[in-house]
Structure 1
């Protein structure tokens, strides 16, 4: 199995390539576990998969200049928009799949930090609908 160091991941939100503002991207997909245990399970818990959900976590390097990160994200607050993420910003392919879907821009923190800190915004957006994986 190949190992990889993340050096140039790709992130697009609402058709804006925002890769240059990010230092962490984490896409998580999960499924609820529903307990279907009965006396016939002989003391072993049995589960089935329920509803699927996901989240997109991002660490942003804040930029409030005109046409920069804050001016792109602020108007999206409260809306559901498309996203695309890839491990590498190279072309999509079998060794570099893309994951796409929609997220709710649930919160935005234009200001945060302490004296001497890098101006960063750490957010997590819930997905809305399916997350898809494609290699073409």
Structure 2
């Protein structure tokens, strides 16, 4: 199995390349488990997959200068926008898949931190609709 170090991941939100601000990116997807246990299950729990959901979590270095991060994200608040994340900024391929879909920008933390901290922003957005994995 190949090993990998994340050095140049690609992060796009709302059609904006946020890679220069991002220091952490997570895309998670899950399926609800629905209990379908009956007496015929003989004491063993049985489950089926239900609704799928996902989340895009980012840690970004804040920049409030004109046309920078804060001015990109602020107008997106409350909207559903496309997102795309890759392990590397190179083109999408079988060795560099892209996970994409839409997410709800449900919050924005323009100021976060304590004395002496770097100005960073941690956000987490629920996906809306399908999350896809592309290799071409």
C-alpha distance after superposition, 1:26-45 (max 9, x if no partner): 00000000000011111110
**Match of residue 132 from structure 2:** 132
State the partner residue of 1:7: 7
Query: What is the aligned partner in structure 1 of residue 86 from structure 2?
Result: 86
- TM-score in terms of structure 2 length: 0.99
Query: Which ranges of structure 1 fall in alignment gaps of 5 or more residues?
Result: none
The number of aligned residues is 136
Structure 1: which 4+ aligned runs deviate by more than 2 Å? none
Aligned counterpart, 1:27: 27
The residue correspondences of 1:1-136 to structure 2 (distance < 5 A) are 1-136=1-136
The unaligned stretches of length 5 or more in structure 2 are none
> 2 CA distance for matches of 1:114 and 1:64?
17
How far did 1:132 drift?
0.6
Pairwise CA distance, 1:101: 0.2
Deviation track 1:73-96 (CA, whole Å, cap 9, x = no partner) reads 000000000001000101110000
* Superposition RMSD in Å: 0.5
Aligned residue for 1:19, secondary structure, equals coil
